[in-house]
A and B are shown apart, each in its own frame.
Chain A
Amino acid sequence: MSSALVHDLVAESAARVPDRVAVVDGDRSVTYAELDATANRLAHLLAECGVRHGDRVGLYLDKSLEAVVGIYGVLKAGATYVPLDPDAPPARLGTIARDAGLRCLVTGAEKAGEWHALITAGAPVETLVVLNGSDGEATGPAGVRVLTPAALAARPADAPPDVPASPSDLAYILYTSGSTGVPKGVMLSHLNALAFVDWGVDEFGVTETDRLSSHAPLHFDLSVFDLYAAARAGAAVVVVPAQLALFPVELGRWIREAGITVWYSVPSILTLLVLRGKLAEVQFPELRTILFAGEVFPTKHLHRLMELLPHVRFANLFGPTETNVCTWYEVPRWTGDPPASIPIGKAITDVEVFAVREDGTVAPPGDVGELHVRGPTVMQGYWGDPERTGGTLLHEWEGETGGFPVYRTGDLAHLDENGDWIFLGRRDSQIKSRGYRIELGDIEAALNQHPAVVECAVVAVPDEVVTNRIKAYVVRRSEVEGDELNRFLGDRLPRYMAPELYEFRDDLPRSSTGKIDRRTLAEEALRAIGTAQPQRPDEREVTRVD
């Protein structure tokens, strides 16, 4: 591995292949030389604004060429970038910004309408660097310095500021849903990112002639592969136009015309493509690899997609934000009917994965246990939360010493007879819905803030297409309907966390310990939509192969 720091990838590609396209965004593009130069300018500007080694800088703009410049500019200034979901309500982002101590925000003119709300919600922002839009006087909230694109021009382009950065520095913090209603900031270092990227580039043979699509938003760790695998190889990363994800025929056309060679996304967009994209009528001669992660891909749709794209390699990548991808599975071409589900596969290079039983011992093959991950891709912890970090990041573990901490994922799994891991479910109340990671407690905490809500329980109802639907059982003290509660939540939570179903009760069932019996409610919710009851993963029969 030549680069020690993520932004070195761009500098090295700029030196090696300066005129190759680095980023494509609509009909605009920049070469590696241009990207490196502009990022250097931004880094100098940030340093002049007071950004110091180790500071956190927010990224608050739509995914774009400018956003990529923003990432590298922040890194070259020796700081850590914190991508904010451009679609999340300002109140939610204000909490995150305050938690991360974001005094400076790299932003876009399209978010100008939200700056004030962000600050009112607690973001300690003193400087806004607007990377797009006009160069004229930009007015921001009172007391906040606003810099426009013209400010970049006067800064040096040849080299970034001299900062004593090291591979163990944090490169980015990704905030995820928290079970008590407070988002958790997952801290990833340069070393974490590069260990994953090196594996991805090697395993999938990414070279400078590749064109990687970039669909995932920057606050999802899928984006780490798109951006940095491309940078390492000197390949082009092509931003998927935002609305295209909704229009499968147009998306299919775009993938072909953009000459995409490697696609990486959540399965649901691929499902839409195969169901409605008229793929049988289109050829994709350049497309060679499709990677998917983040949720279960219904095998019947996956199988159909593979039949339509016989020359494409398909792989299922698995892993929480805390470790990026930890296991992966190359999907074989099935001759008959596809199986009901596919494994999450085997550990990636240099990473060790093992399952731990309730009694604390490592599970032998076939036995169910909680997946633990050790290796260079494991996070540094949760920002500002040593207690939660200590609960999941274990520094002592008997067995081989690798020098890396062990992360307990909360995922239940077992090894099958081929040595592939099979995902069974969660230990807790974290769910996936439509590809999004959601803590049910996060939704409950927000709902409980509504004056009409006495108490509530939010449960997941398994669904074949979206993985889980969200249902809320609410005890109310005064009249209120689901629509109004969802409007209330819309100011506090990302849209995808809003319950689809509401049921109002006089009271909620309780277990013998007096806690709300969510399991009973989950079972009732399933019966209500007429589906079979789920089994607890450890109740399932596990086939042992000796």
Chain B
Amino acid sequence: MASNLQWSGSWADVDDDYPLLERRVIDSLGMITLITLLENEFSIDIDDGEVVPSNFRTIGDIARLVESKRA
């Protein structure tokens, strides 16, 4: 997924709380890719209304979103 986002920072730095949005890890096309990847990888459906900053600020946020869909 890292290469798909074309982010050249060090993923070793990215822990659950790394500010993805602030650090511009994702851009708008990265977002389309990310959502598609999450849906395919985890067999979930992400509602458009869930594509909001609070669900994507950090890896932890994304993980929580995915978990809530799998529950």
Contacts and interface: CB of A to CB of B under 8 A. Distances in A.
User: Do these two chains really belong together in a complex?
Assistant: yes
Interface of A: 87, 243, 245-250, 268-269, 271-272, 275-278, 434, 465-466, 482-483, 486-487, 489-490, 495-496, 498, 500-502
B9 A500 contact: no
Contacts of A465: 29, 32
Interface of B: 2-4, 6-11, 21, 24, 26-29, 31-32, 35, 48-49, 51-53, 56
B16 to A, nearest CB: 19
B56 to A, nearest CB: 7
Contacts, number: 75
Q: In the A-B complex, list the 4 residue pairs whose CB atoms are closest, starting with the nearest.
A: A490-B8, A486-B8, A498-B6, A245-B28
A489 B9 CA distance: 10
Contacts of A434: 27, 29
A249 B6 contact: no
A466 B9 contact: no
A111 to B, nearest CB: 14
Given A245-B27, A247-B31, A276-B32, 13 more contacts: A246-B21, A246-B26, A246-B53, A272-B29, A275-B32, A276-B51, A487-B9, A490-B8, A490-B9, A495-B8, A496-B6, A496-B27, A500-B3
Contacts of B3: 482-483, 486, 500-502
A466 B24 CA distance: 18
A44 B19 CA distance: 39
A477 B11 CA distance: 25
A269 B6 contact: no
A466 B21 CA distance: 21
B51 A243 contact: no
Contact of B51 (A87, A247, A269, A489): A247
B28 A249 contact: no
Contact of B28 (A246, A278, A487): A246
A95 to B, nearest CB: 18
A275 B7 CA distance: 23
B39 to A, nearest CB: 11
B10 A272 contact: no
Contacts of A246: 21, 26-28, 31, 53, 56
A276 B35 contact: yes
Contacts of B53: 243, 246-247, 250
Nearest to A488: B8
A301 B28 CA distance: 15
A90 to B, nearest CB: 14
Contacts of B9: 487, 490
A109 to B, nearest CB: 15
Nearest to A87: B24
Contacts of A483: 2-3, 11
Contacts of A277: 48
A495 B7 CA distance: 6
Interface centre among B4, B8, B51, B52 (most CB of A within 10 A): B8
Contacts of A466: 29
Contacts of B32: 268, 271-272, 275-276, 465
6 contacts: A248-B48, A268-B29, A277-B48, A482-B3, A487-B10, A498-B7
Contacts of B7: 495, 498
Interface centre among B7, B49, B51, B53 (most CB of A within 10 A): B51
B22 to A, nearest CB: 9
A487 B8 contact: yes
Contacts of B51: 247-249, 276
Nearest to B35: A276
A473 B51 CA distance: 35
B21 A243 contact: yes
A472 to B, nearest CB: 11
Nearest to A435: B29
Nearest to A275: B32
B4 A269 contact: no
Contact of A500 (B6, B10, B11): B6
A250 B52 contact: yes
A502 B53 CA distance: 31
Interface centre among A276, A486, A501 (most CB of B within 10 A): A276
A247 B8 contact: no
Nearest to A244: B53
